[in-house]
Amino acid sequence: MAHPLDRPLIIGVALDGAGDGFTAADYVRAARLAEDAGLDFATLDDSLTGEARPDALLTLAAVAPRTRRIGLVPAVTVTHTEPFHVSKAVASLDFASRGRAGWRVEVSRTGADARAVGRRATAPAEELWAEATAVADVVARLWDSWEDDAEIRDVATGRFIDRDKLHYVDFEGPGWSVRGPSITPRPPQGHPLVVVRAEDDHALATAAAAADAVIVTSGTLGAVRERYRRVREEIAAAGRDPDAVTVLAEVHAHLAPGRPGPDRVLPGLVHTGSPGALAEALLEWGRVVDGFAVRFGSTDADLPLFTERTVPLLRESGVLHEGPAPDTLRARFGLGRPANRYEAV
């Protein structure tokens, strides 16, 4: 199955629904399965109420020291969480994983979340995503509020920090403000990878302004191709380099024999069939996008089939990364460590 792609595909998998959904050991097992297959990253959806799933960021923080190479990308809901806390929590995941953290910027539109947190009411999508753009901006500024060599750790003099290398952010957001600096040193990657699932145009605006990777959710190959073009145009219009942003297609895979396919319309490309047929489909779809974020009908049933039967076929086709895994998630996506905006040149 030779495939004439001129670059490797980036492939991540969702861990949602592993085991009973609330045991850290289940997520560790699923993440290690994906890691051993050489996949690039694993994602986990978020829940503010805890009714459907555990907190994504805390769960992947438990997974981090039990994995070595795979990127960890929790969804982080910014609507009801102070940006200062988002910044230090994602930075802490980057420290725990030694530079393998990302975060998928998410908003909350439900009254249940608003009531559970009690901080604010629901709001229109346009307002929520405009706030998310501001949060992504100030979070990166907080990461930069410590220069890389701000820590002295001089026991003899009792000096831990060079205060001249800490910086105030002084950021005014919609309904909140952040002065800074952070209470957490700059993360190992400088900026953990920012991911946005651009399901609508409001989310796309945030993606264009802030994302290192964008997930598109169109349901046909033609629509994915058009959305890919639109994403790159919006990134360029925002004054950023489209070639520095990875565009992934969301894929829903139902592989286990005897299990029913989806009973509802899912956002994204859908495959129901054998692991080998999925490999063929990904090779074809990979001509249009830079890679895939794969979700499963059943993580426990489908993830093993994907790693054991689909991934080897893709590897034989030469479309996956080969050789030692890069040290950081940013490096896996072809990105360097960003310069600190506050550091004197």
In angstroms, the Cα distances linking 231 to 106, 196, 240, 319 are 18, 11, 12, 23
Residue 200: pLDDT band by 50, 70, 90 thresholds?
A: very high
CATH 3.20.20.30 fits 10-332, yes or no: yes
Residue 50: pLDDT band by 50, 70, 90 thresholds?
A: low
Does residue 344 surpass a pLDDT of 80?
Answer: no
Structure tokens at 53: 């799933």
Residue pLDDT, tens place only, 167-190: 999 999 998 999 989 999 999 999
248 Cβ neighbours under 8 A, 6+ residues apart: 10, 12, 213, 214, 215, 216, 289, 290, 291, 292, 293
Does residue 22 surpass a pLDDT of 80?
Answer: no
Residue 3's pLDDT is 42
Query: What is residue 308's DSSP assignment?
Result: I
Structure tokens at 224: 């994915």
Residue 5's pLDDT is 64
Higher pLDDT, 296 or 257: 296
Does residue 68 surpass a pLDDT of 80?
Answer: yes
Does residue 284 surpass a pLDDT of 70?
Answer: yes
Does residue 119 surpass a pLDDT of 50?
Answer: yes
Question: How far apart (Å, rounded) are the C-alpha atoms in residues 308 and 266?
Answer: 25
Burial class (CB in 10 A: 0-12, 13-18, 19+), 120: exposed
Residue 331: pLDDT band by 50, 70, 90 thresholds?
A: very high
Question: How far apart (Å, rounded) are the C-alpha atoms in residues 121 and 5?
Answer: 47
